[in-house]
């Protein structure tokens, strides 16, 4: 396969865009989990630690998704971030629920 075709695929295809997004999501999830554990070491309640690490991880995910995965050039950063964060709050609620179930009920 021609290297120019590979470069074109990696820069412009929707499949490559989704691969980049998956990479960004995985990488930022690792940082979010690391932040959660570091916050727990300071003896902050686990639910507060979830919210803080979620905010950190979602902010990183937005920045890297915008720059690396989707290569957005839009000037509407505040509007996009608000929409991205608002949708991600559903994920936060699921995290808080399962943390409560596994920490308070199961364990």
Q: What is the pLDDT of residue 16?
A: 81
Rounded CA-CA distance 103/27 in Å is 25
* Half-sphere exposure at residue 50, Cβ-oriented, CA atoms within 13 angstroms: 15
The more confidently predicted of residues 56 and 3 is 56
Rounded CA-CA distance 84/41 in Å is 29
The pTM for the full model equals 0.78
DSSP character string of 7-36: HHHHHH-HHHHHHHHHHHHHHHHHHHHHHH
Q: What does the pLDDT look like over 37-66, one tens digit per residue?
A: 999 999 999 999 999 999 999 999 999 988
Supply φ then ψ for residue 4, to 5 degrees: -65, -40
């Amino acid at each position: 396969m021609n290297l120019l075709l590979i470069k074109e695929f990696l820069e412009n295809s929707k499949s490559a865009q989704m691969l980049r997004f998956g990479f960004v999501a995985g990488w930022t999830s690792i940082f979010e989990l690391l932040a959660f554990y570091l916050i727990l070491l300071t003896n902050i309640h686990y639910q507060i630690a979830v919210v803080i690490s979620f905010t950190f991880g979602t902010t990183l995910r937005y920045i890297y998704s915008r720059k690396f995965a989707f290569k957005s050039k839009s000037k509407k950063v505040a509007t996009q971030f608000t929409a991205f964060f608002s949708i991600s709050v559903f994920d936060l609620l699921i995290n808080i629920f399962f943390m409560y179930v596994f920490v308070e009920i199961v364990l």
